[in-house]
Amino acid sequence: MNAETVRLWLDDRIGIGSIAAVARKKEIPVHRHSIWYYFGGMTLFLFSVQVGTGILLLLYYRPSAETAFESVQFIVTEVKFGWLIRSVHSWSANLMIATLFIHMFSVFFMKAYRRPREMTWVSGVLLLFLAVGFGFSGYLLPWNKLAFFATKVGTEIAGVIPLVGRPMLRFLRGGEDVTGATLTRFFGFHVAVLPAITTAIIGAHLMLVQMHGMSVPPGVDNEKVKRMKFIPNFLLRDLIGWVLAIGALAALAALFPWELGEKADAFASAPAGIRPEWYFLFMFQTLKFIPAKILFFDGEVVGILAFGLGGLMLFILPFLDKPDKPRRKTVITVIGVIVVIYIVVLTIIGYLG
Amino acid sequence: MKTESHQDSLEQKGECAQCPNRTHAAEAEHDGKGRRRFLNYLLGTGFGATLIAIFYPIIRFITPPMIIEATQNSVTAGKINELAVNSGKIFKFGNKPGILIRSASGELKAFSAVCTHLDCIVQYEPEKKQISCACHNGQYNLSGQNIGGPPPRPLEEFVVNTRGEEIIVSKA
């Protein structure tokens, strides 16, 4: 039985021919901004690294307040290549958030969210929120001091939201305080709830990208632009990026292994120099700077609601930007630039402070 | 031809040749619509009730049960000889942390150790002789008043008594 017979057999039953035809049809515009097209695929690749290493960690990880810290300690000290798998999982998570941000801002500035790609953007912002959820829930799992306080603060932030805050805090924590019950819940979110939702939305996101093709930015002539075949030309270039990413992950894991820290203690002061993961730093730093009272309201409530509003604006961005209103386009670009500068500056201050 | 097209239009209106009595047909149609509406209503409520029966227990399940702790009004927080002058320690008050401080003048003070900003656990800073929170740089003086950083309210103060060597902390 040769390959052609197998192909024909499969084509008759599951129609692989039509799938291949769709894949062959896909083309990538080639222009001076083409580099940004790589970041979506890179994010997807790093996500697959997360799935792979995550499954491996599941073989040894034990989700309870009594065993979690010790099981991670066991993974990094006793299990062969445990240090590598755990560090790659942590580093890949961080790089994934970074490439996701780059991907999002490139789409933002190239106006690729406009008609007919509004829902592609919306699904992408959902994936950003899910990725942040993955980061937040996964951070607690080693059950160390930093994670414990980060989770206390993070869930308390949810708790200060008027009306829904308290029930949400109890739902997240599995009670009034951050305890073993919280760890069990976060584990469930991290390995079951979030992966299920994320897989579905990634599927929709990719389907939409495939359906609408790649967006060409406003400054480039859509008719005259050169095009490259996705298979094999662009995919091979993608592959080079992924191989480089594997190299980078291995190097980072070997040179800067992810620390485990000290085991969480619900009756110890917060350690000095505590701070969350870098992608939460700008919000963390804002909460440090915000005064205790703004008019009649608690400062942190105002700050948190402002960030919530920011997230909502991001989500509905395609419906705020109307191409027939050029003034609005400029305003949105300017706000985007200010937001990027704000995030970068506060992150740096957060690191130095 | 004419009759045929007339027949067609009659059929389109649902007035078929088999039931030439128009009022009867209209009634049947009305009945049919009523029955359909009734069935839709039945199905809809049934479906809605099934959804509620499925999701109500799920929502109640994911909301953690309230665990009623025996309210503790006082606790032995430590021993005087274990607490140096100008130092502080975290102690367990029920399931919440408290902070016990022996000031530079030797005075004993106790507060809730839960920062009023975002729930972190505070600590005593001997150099500055004040209470601080490492999470967002909140500061409190030795009366528990919020004097710097983001905390919106003072720390809850407890009453401190000594019984021999033992330091007893109780809620005011």
- The DSSP code sequence of chain B is -HHHHHHHHHHHTT--TT---HHHHHHHHHHHHHHHHHHHHHHHHHHHHHHHHHHHHHHHHHSPPPP-PPPP-EEEEEEGGGS-TTEEEEEEETTEEEEEEE-TTS-EEEEE-B-TTTS-B-EEETTTTEEEETTTTEEE-TT--EEESS--SPPPEEEEEEETTEEEEEE-
- Tell me what pLDDT residue A195 has: 97
CB-CB neighbours of B44 under 10 Å: 10
CB within 8 Å: B135 and A273? no
**Partner residue opposite B121 with nearest CB, options A160, A268, A291:** A268
The interface predicted TM-score (ipTM) is: 0.72
Distance separating alpha carbons of residues A186 and A143, to the nearest angstrom: 11
Q: Which residues of chain A have pLDDT under 50?
A: none
A20: domain CATH number is 1.20.810.10
Mean pLDDT of B16-34: 66
Which residue in the set A155, A267, A298 is minimally distant from B90, CB to CB?
Answer: A267
Query: Cα B87–B136–B132 angle (5° rounding)?
Result: 15
Task: Judge whether A277 lies within some domain.
Answer: no
pTM of model > 0.95: no
CB < 8 Å to B137, chain A: 288
C-alpha neighbours within 13 Å on the C-beta side of residue A129: 15
Mutate which of A160, A267, A282, A352 to test chain B, going by most B C-beta atoms within 10 A? A267
Mutate to test the interface with B, among A269, A286, A290, A293 (most CBs of B within 10 A): A269
CB-CB contact of A214 with A37 (8 Å) = yes
Work out the pLDDT band at B14, boundaries 50, 70, 90.
Answer: very low
CB contact under 8 A, A270 and B134: yes
CA dist., res. B172 & res. B162, Å (int): 15
Coil, strand, or helix at residue A59?
coil
Q: What is the rounded CA–CA span in Å between residue A234 and residue B136?
A: 46
pLDDT digits (tens, 9 = 90+) for A154-163: 999 888 888 8
User: For residue A174, which residues of chain B lie inside 8 Å, CB to CB?
Assistant: 64
Q: Which of A227-231, A308-312, B21-25, B48-52 has the lowest mean pLDDT?
A: B21-25
**How confident is the model at residue B18, as a pLDDT?**
55
A173, A175, A272: residue with CB nearest B67: A175
- Among chain A residues, CA nearest to B123: A269
Query: Domain span at residue A169?
Result: 10-264
**A311 in any annotated domain:** no
Residue range B21-29: mean pLDDT, rounded: 67
pLDDT of residue B2: 45
Position A346 in a domain: no
Between CA A268 and CA B113, with CA B109 as vertex, the angle to 5 degrees is 30
| Total count of domains within chain A | 1
Put simply, the answer to whether A270 touches B95 (Cβ < 8 Å) is: no
Quick: pLDDT tens for A250-260: 999 999 999 99
Q: Which chain B residue shows the shortest CA-CA distance from A301?
A: B117
Asked whether the beta carbons of residue A266 and residue B97 sit closer than 8 angstroms, the reply is yes
In a domain, A326, yes or no: no
Inside any domain, residue A316: no
SS3 A294: strand
Residue pair B117/B135 in contact (Cβ under 8 Å)? The answer is: yes
Chain B residues touching A300 at Cβ < 8 A: 117-118, 150, 152
What domains appear along chain B, each with residue ranges and CATH number? 2-62 (no CATH), 74-171 (2.102.10.10)
Q: Do B67 and A293 touch (CB under 8 A)?
A: no
Residue B97 reports pLDDT greater than 60: yes
Average pLDDT of every residue of chain B: 84
Separation CA B107–CA B85 (nearest Å): 9
Cβ separation of A270 and B97 shorter than 8 Å? no
pLDDT tens readout for residues A50-94: 999 999 999 999 999 999 999 999 999 999 999 999 999 999 999
- Let me know if residue A309 belongs to a domain: no
Gap from B144 CA to chain A (nearest CA, Å)? 15
Candidates B64, B99, B136; nearest CB to A175: B64
Nearest Cβ partner for A299 among B113, B135, B152:
B152
Is it the case that residue B10 has pLDDT exceeding 50?
Answer: no
Q: Does B125 touch chain A (CB under 8 A)?
A: no
Q: Which amino acid is at A42?
A: M
Q: Report the pLDDT value the prediction gives residue A249, as an integer from 0 to 100.
A: 95
Which chain A residue is nearest to residue B154, measuring alpha carbons? A292
Long-range contacts of B12-19 (CB under 8 A, 24+ apart): none
Find residues 131-150 of chain B whose CB sits inside 8 Å of chain A.
133-137, 146, 149-150
**CB atoms near residue A9 (< 10 Å):** 12
- Report if residue A198 sits inside a domain: yes
Cross-chain Cβ contact A288/B137 below 8 Å: yes
A160-166 LR contacts (CB < 8 Å, sep 24+)? A160/A298, A160/A300, A160/A301, A160/A304, A160/B118, A161/A301, A161/A304, A161/A305, A161/A308, A162/A301
Lowest mean pLDDT among A294-298, B66-70, B72-76: B66-70
Q: Is B154 on the interface with A (CB under 8 A)?
A: no
Q: Is the CB of B58 inside 8 Å of chain A's CB atoms?
A: no
Q: Which two tokens stand for residue A342?
A: 């704000």
Report if residue A313 sits inside a domain: no
Query: Which residues are within 8 A (CB) of A213 and not within 5 positions of it... i.e. 6 or more apart?
Result: A26, A27
CB contact under 8 A, B136 and A293: no
What pLDDT was estimated at residue B11?
47
**How far from each other are the two terminal CA atoms of chain B, in whole angstroms?**
100
One-letter-per-residue 3-state SS of A167-199: HHHHHHHCCCCCCHHHHHHHHHHHHHHHHHHHH
